[in-house]
Structure 1
Amino acid sequence: MNDTAPQPADSAGQGPRHGVDRTTGRHVIARLAGPEHDHTVRAVVDQLSGEQSAVDSIVEDAVSDPERLESVERLGRFDDTRNPTLDRVAVLVAEALGTPMAAVSIVYPDRQVLAGSNASDEVQPRVAPLEMSICKFTVASREPLVVDDTRAHPMLSDHPVVQSGAVLAYAGIPLLDSKGYVAGTLCTWDTRPRHWSSGQVQILNDLADVARHRLLTDPRNV
């Protein structure tokens, strides 16, 4: 992703807690989430705050950025009503990649909402607390997150949905608006580890462009 996109400050003009500005925080999360799982960065983060708290702080700050939230609020609310077009995008993702679950997620400071999904609300609840979200890491880094086995990933292995076995492989693409803010992701996941091929990731990127257009260009005219 383009590193020149805006990195707005919060209302007090400060970056995340622990003295890490948003741009640096985004790169930290991207390095931790990336395919090489940068253990050096992880060790530094752990030394700064002990275990997960610095990562949580960086993610919380990115997700709670007031200007990002202004962009998200303009999309309207999907807590009670899913978008049929985004449902269809999620169905296409699941069919093309052979995954049981796919969704267009929107990430708020306190929750994750599925604006579109290939599954019913009974199978996959539309709204979940933020602590149950993996998409929040994609929002924080503004980079794709593609993980073959979440149990072996240093940032995700202790995550509640990984521990429960609900998400053992994950692939998510950030949905950026014209100002560079990330509303959420187009994501897919499996209940077993799996290898994501380059062709599958490309398909996910292509369908993310469709989801981005439908969600961000004119979210009410779909």
Structure 2
Amino acid sequence: MHIAAKPDNEASRLAALYELLILDTPPEERFDKIAQFAASEFDMPIVLITLLDVERQWFKARVGTKVCETGRDISFCSHAILSDDIMMVDDALQDPRFADNPLVTGAPHIRFYAGAPLALPSGLRLGTLCLIDRRPRTLDALDLGILGTLRDLAVMELARTEEKHDA
């Protein structure tokens, strides 16, 4: 299993995340609706809005799982936040970074992953909107555009959270 490197701006990224005062908060309809729409639109069994803390990824919104966090060391999202681009893994069993990952070899048996980084206007990537399936698949250009739009909506909601705390 390949553990993702920490972003070069990790200290600034974490400071921005903590300033939002969003970690470990109750579910919120505004984030849940984005995840629910994505699950329906893409026919995905699992959709998450994740935020990456020091040692864990925490789920602000989740569809298809009762788990509310996983270790950052095994998270696909830790890889996805290293770029502004959507990271897509068509078949995790065929990807050397993830083939022996416990989230692939055991529950929830991830085979497909697409993660759209949630970047604040400052460029700091705090987490992802991610789609997960238990079977291999891919997204076409139209699907990637829709995922990008849903990611933008999630980022707008994060910015609203930031504005509330700045007021």
CA distance in 2, matches of 1:107, 1:78: 9
1:83, distance to aligned residue in structure 2 (A): 2.3
Within 5 Å, give how 1:40-79 maps onto structure 2.
52=2, 56=3, 59=5, 61-62=6-7, 65-79=10-24
Give TM-score scaled by structure 2 length. Answer: 0.88
Q: CA RMSD in A?
A: 2.0
> Deviation per CA, 1:33-59, whole angstroms, max 9, x where unpaired?
xxxxxxxxxxxxxxxxxx84xxx3x62
Query: 1 or 2, which has the higher helix percentage?
Result: 1
CA distance in 2, matches of 1:135, 1:124: 18
Q: Which ranges of structure 1 fall in alignment gaps of 5 or more residues?
A: 1-50
What is the aligned partner in structure 2 of residue 110 from structure 1? 55
Bigger radius of gyration among the two: 1
Moved more, 133-142 or 61-70: 61-70
What is the aligned partner in structure 2 of residue 182 from structure 1? 125
Q: Which ranges of structure 2 fall in alignment gaps of 5 or more residues?
A: none
Give TM-score scaled by structure 1 length. Answer: 0.67
CA distance in 2, matches of 1:171, 1:102: 10
Within 5 Å, give how 1:22-171 maps onto structure 2.
52=2, 56=3, 59=5, 61-62=6-7, 65-119=10-64, 123-164=65-106, 166-171=109-114
Q: Quickly say closer, same or farther: Cα 1:63–1:126, change in 2 above 3 A.
A: farther
> Deviation per CA, 1:84-141, whole angstroms, max 9, x where unpaired?
211110000010001111111001120001111224xxx3311222123110101123
Query: 1 or 2, which has the higher strand percentage?
Result: 2
Ranked by relative contact order (alpha carbons within 8 Å, sequence separation 6 or more), the top structure is 2
User: Is the contact between residue 64 and residue 109 of structure 1 (CA under 8 Å) also seen in structure 2?
Assistant: no
CA distance in 2, matches of 1:166, 1:64: 31
Q: Quickly say closer, same or farther: Cα 1:108–1:130, change in 2 above 3 A.
A: same
Deviating beyond 6 angstroms after TM superposition, the runs of 4 or more aligned structure 1 residues are: none
Q: Quickly say closer, same or farther: Cα 1:172–1:138, change in 2 above 3 A.
A: same
Q: Quickly say closer, same or farther: Cα 1:94–1:125, change in 2 above 3 A.
A: same
**Identical-residue share of aligned pairs (%):** 25
CA distance in 2, matches of 1:124, 1:210: 23
User: Is the contact between residue 172 and residue 187 of structure 1 (CA under 8 Å) also seen in structure 2?
Assistant: yes
> How many residue pairs end up in the alignment?
162
User: Is the contact between residue 85 and residue 116 of structure 1 (CA under 8 Å) also seen in structure 2?
Assistant: no
